[in-house]
Chain A
């Protein structure tokens, strides 16, 4: 560096500031300090070798990217990344693939076949659903999907 006007003598205040800044540098803000608490997947920075990807692929936050993910990945994002844009994108991708969210069971359902009965209040038939406790897809025959539990908000 060049100081064309030459150095000036630092004031007492400046020295104090420098010392406080140096102390503050020992415990820098952590990335998680400025974001909502992540319950399941907290940030855990660690040194990664440079020959590994240091940042996600470009366009990883688009719906096209999410549509290429497996349903299990989408369920994982949905349940383990609550209240994030990722969760929103996963829900959107699941809906596009004809999964419907049941607000009472808090699980995703997909018609296995055309429902046997369809009324204004419900539909009944065989469904595939994702059980987040057993962590796998299950089949349920003769299930009644009441429409009042259908999450049907339009996701833009």
Chain B
């Protein structure tokens, strides 16, 4: 794919060619003439519904002007057309700024679209008709090349105009081009997956951290109805899923530092709200997608974004019926699903370095040497700066890896995970050691990593639910218990949705007398905390505790 001549290569050469301005004399004029001609043809009723009739005559004109002679000239032609469309947009927007009463925004946009839509149709037709009918390679290459050129022009524009940059012309080109290339036609359908790949690569290159001035349009194109349904619904074997997951990760990564700091300027708030809406749509329509990639998403979402994470963790497969967590005497270990492992489509092992994983494996196997445990904390630390002390993805990875290893270890011994079977093993050594040895920050991240697995009924949920309760029961300091309570509670006091496993674990903690939950000092440390526990207990159990 990255090989010279491959689609990705075509896109990157398109991006770099967008910065070559040494055009042969006369090309600018020819392009301008041709583009104007094409806009007229596109809007002429005699061209037919999809402009096919006008197109063949126009290709003749392109030939006569010598544009189609070399690949280099075609590339330059597309670059100049893109620039002309963009310039026109800026000019019209400028005019409407000068005399807003004369030109209403709708009219200005209609004028821009007049040219932009025509250009998009030209791209579509050239892609469709390049090479012969069965030759998909030339079509895909051309598409990647053109997208690369538009990306290159966009980035150039973004970097030079800075805060005066306008996202609209590019937004329009991407949306309409996607729309046109997904028409129900055989030629287009046969290259649909490569088309989706090309658009995903385009959007990934233009991710908000690279082109922040394009961020709102970016969120629009990524949440565009037709894009979501093509990526998550119509592409067979869920081949669009990893690509779409990557784009969501791009979005979370961009938002992360601002959300973490609670630096919520108006623009960040709007982008955040858009993200919530997108996630709600995905939770409603594609819960399995959120299930499969929850690990990768939680890895990049900051710890304090409770609701954002709850949306992801609340997803469960549509064919599953979740028992009401408030059912009295609910026997979780009797549920069929509790033995089935969830699908994790993120490679969570990859974060660990090779030697570290070897040491971990050997400790899990032999329960030795003890130095592995004492070194663990320093292995997870990356700096001395408060708030940035730990390698969060590594903590998540260790927790997940040790947990899944523990489950298969118990299974191999012929048992199933339960409060009794999870104890006294190398796996639990690691967890208990982390709970005791880490400082407040590290423990918070560690407990969050566990709580991220408390989802719908499955073997991970069950295992980690037991683990968390066991850590609570066996804690040698009240501060550990307080922190476990904190991590659970802070995920429950936000608005819905709440993950099933989280509710189950919390209810067990406050209901089961073995945990002596209500005897702890932190439950009664302040009147508003007592009141909070009261109200949570009431809503969880329908009665008052004190």
A84 interfacial by beta-carbon distance below 8 Å: no
Interface residues of A in 37-53 (CB under 8 A from B): 37, 42-44
A5 interfacial contact with B, CB 8 Å: yes
A4 to nearest B CB, angstroms?
Answer: 6
Among A19-27, A69-77, A85-93, the stretch in contact with B: A19-27
* Alpha-carbon distance between A95 and B208 when the two chains are bound, in angstroms: 49
Question: Smallest CB-CB separation from A30: which chain B residue?
Answer: B109
Measured between beta carbons, the chain A residues less than 8 angstroms from B171 are 29, 33-34
Cβ of B441 within 8 Å of any chain A Cβ, yes or no, is: yes
CB atoms of A2 and B304 under 8 A apart: yes
A4-B444, A32-B109 given; A21·B213 CB < 8 A: yes
Would you call A14 and B109 a contact (CB within 8 A)?
no
Once the chains bind, are B261 and A7 in contact (CB under 8 Å)?
yes
A10 touches B (CB below 8 Å): yes
A1 and B106 within 8 A (CB)? no
Nearest chain A CB to B449's CB is how many angstroms away?
Answer: 14
Query: B interface, how many residues as a size bin?
Result: 35 or more
* Closest chain B residue, CB of each to CB of A11: B257
Tell me if A1 and B304 are in contact (CB < 8 A): yes
Taking CB atoms and an 8 Å cut-off, the chain B residues in 154-178 that contact chain A are: 158, 162-168, 171-172, 175-176
Instruction: Return A82 CB to nearest CB of chain B, in Å.
Output: 11
The answer to whether residues A24 and B216 also contact, given A8-B260, A29-B168, A34-B224 and a CB cut-off of 8 A, is yes
Contacts of A13 in B (CB 8 A): 209
Return the contact of A14 from the options B164, B175, B257, B387 (Cβ within 8 A): B257
Contacts of B268 on A, CB cut-off 8 Å?
Answer: 18, 21
B220 and A5 contact, CB distance less than 8 A: no
Q: Is there contact, CB below 8 Å, between A21 and B387? A: no
Chain A: interface residue total (CB-CB under 8 A): 34
| CB-based contact B167/A17 at 8 Å | no
Judged by a CB distance under 8 angstroms, whether A135 is at the interface is: no
Interface presence of B318 (CB below 8 A): no
B175 to chain A, nearest CB (A): 5
Known: A25-B266, A33-B171. A10 touches B257 (CB 8 A): yes
Q: Which of A5, A19, A20, A30 contacts B260 (CB 8 A)?
A: A5
Note all chain A residues with C-beta closer than 8 A to B162.
20, 23
Q: Which chain B positions have C-beta within 8 A of A20?
A: 158, 162-163, 165, 212-213, 215
Q: CB-CB < 8 A to B271: which residues of A?
A: 21
A37 to B266, CA, bound (A): 30
Chain B residues with CB under 8 A of A36: 117, 176, 179
Which of A1, A3, A5 neighbours the largest number of chain B CB atoms within 10 Å of its CB? A5
Are A44 and B106 in touch, CB under 8 angstroms? yes
Whether A4 lies near B265 (C-beta < 8 A) is: no
Q: How far is the CA of A22 from the CA of B269 in the complex (A)?
A: 11
Interface residues of B in 363-421 (CB under 8 A from A): 385-388
Contact A21 B113 (CB under 8 A): no
A56 an interface residue at 8 Å Cβ cutoff? no
Interface residue A28 (Cβ < 8 Å from any Cβ of B): yes
A43 to B107, CA, bound (A): 10
User: Smallest Cβ distance from A70 to chain B, in angstroms?
Assistant: 28
Judged by a CB distance under 8 angstroms, whether B263 is at the interface is: yes
Chain A positions within 8 Å of B166 at CB level: 27
Is A16 an interface residue when CB atoms closer than 8 A count as contact?
A: yes
Q: A14-B257, A21-B268, A34-B175 are in contact. Are A29 and B220 (CB under 8 A)?
A: yes
Within 8 A of A (CB), among B266-287: 266-268, 270-271
Please determine whether A29 and B217 come into contact, CB atoms closer than 8 angstroms: yes
- Residue from B117, B267, B302 within 8 A of A24 (CB atoms): B267
Interface status of B349 (Cβ within 8 A of chain A): no
How many Å lie between the Cα of A139 and that of B265 in the bound state? Answer: 64
User: Known: A33-B175, A37-B113. Contact between A23 and B303, CB under 8 A?
Assistant: no
**B475 in the interface (beta carbon within 8 A):** no
List, in ascending order, chain B residues with CB within 8 A of A43's CB: 106
Asked if A6 is an interface residue, CB under 8 A from chain B, the answer is: yes
Give complex CA distance A22, B208 in Å.
13
CB-CB nearest in chain A for B445 = A5
A17→B441 contact, CB < 8 A: no
Asked if B261 and A10 make an inter-chain contact with CB atoms under 8 angstroms apart, the answer reads yes
Query: Are B220 and A32 neighbours in the complex by a CB distance under 8 Å?
Result: no
Shortest 5 CB-CB distances between A and B: which pairs? A23-B163, A1-B262, A25-B267, A20-B212, A17-B212
Given contacts A7-B262, A10-B261, A24-B165, 16 further A-B pairs with CB under 8 A are: A2-B262, A3-B261, A3-B304, A5-B260, A7-B260, A18-B268, A20-B215, A21-B212, A24-B212, A24-B267, A25-B267, A25-B270, A27-B168, A34-B175, A36-B117, A42-B106
